[in-house]
Amino acid sequence: MPKSSQPMVRHSAPILPGHDRRLSKRLASNGFAMAILAAALPLTSPVAHALPHFPLAPACSSYSYNSPAMEVAQDNNVTVVVDKSGDFFSGKAGYTQNGSGVWTNGTAVGRISGRNITVEFTWNNGLTTRWDGYIDDDLTARGTAKNSQGAVNTWSSKAKFDCVPAATPTQQGQGEGQEDTKTTVDELTATVNADTRLYDKSNDDGDAVVIGELTVGQVVKVESACSPNAWCFLVEPKGAAWGRDLTNN
């Protein structure tokens, strides 16, 4: 028989005891399974990181809108404009089919609470509409509009809101005689113009509890400027009162 051209390699690996051979087989089997699993994963799988590689956006204490009226675009080619003061929507409103040049007027009552937006419209043509929305991370307001005939559309603000960052303490001075200073937010106050009740929350549903009384001339701290046609939320004393009975300072 002719000899093989391949040289024989003897003792290429040490002979393992029985127990070690079984362990080696298990490891080899597990390694094969892991290789199959790795091959099945997509090549573009992202690597998980414990911490983000970019700074997170600072929290907003509130959101401001640099216009006395907010203009939004609906997905049915309709533009809506509504009066806005601080965190409240009140007063005139109108909508038009883009390109028609014809406006339907009405009134609106609503507010911004944190990121959430709710507005109730009453139109001169007899219809009513409710907005439910929120201020998104890109500072654009978005939501849905549902009218009294059951039609539902989406809407988004044409301009963005501004983020008002939460107040944070400044760094303490290192030199002698330097004082630690803090960034403060101006406190909003209002003066009670008529004796009125203080509730634990807005009483739109008739289930709020009277927790106190406000008297004429009393100065209270408020979360935001009060609207005469909406509930005003107080910081001190804590509670809610009808905005008509409070005058912004």
Instruction: Give the domain extent around 124.
Output: 60-165
User: Cα dist. 18→21, 22, 23, 25, 200 in Å?
Assistant: 5, 6, 9, 11, 78
| Total domains, the chain | 2
Radius of gyration of the chain (CA): 33
Q: Is residue 139 part of a domain?
A: yes
Same domain assignment for residues 199 and 146: no
Using a cut of 0.85, tell me whether the model's pTM lies above it.
Answer: no
Report the residue count for the chain.
249
pLDDT at 46 over 70: no
Q: Is residue 49 part of a domain?
A: no
Query: Which of 150, 165, 180 marks a domain boundary?
Result: 165
- Looking up residue 79, the CATH number of its domain turns out to be 2.40.128.30
Rounded Cα gap, residues 71 and 128, in angstroms: 18
pLDDT at 230 over 50: yes
Same domain assignment for residues 198 and 237: yes
Q: Is residue 67 part of a domain?
A: yes
Q: Is residue 28 part of a domain?
A: no
Contact 95/81 with Cβ under 8 angstroms?
yes
Tens of pLDDT along 47-78?
444 444 433 345 788 888 888 889 999 999 99
Tens of pLDDT along 157-205?
999 999 988 776 654 444 444 444 443 446 789 999 989 888 988 888 8
Same domain assignment for residues 104 and 200: no
Q: Is residue 212 part of a domain?
A: yes
- Looking up residue 229, the CATH number of its domain turns out to be 2.30.30
Same domain assignment for residues 142 and 77: yes
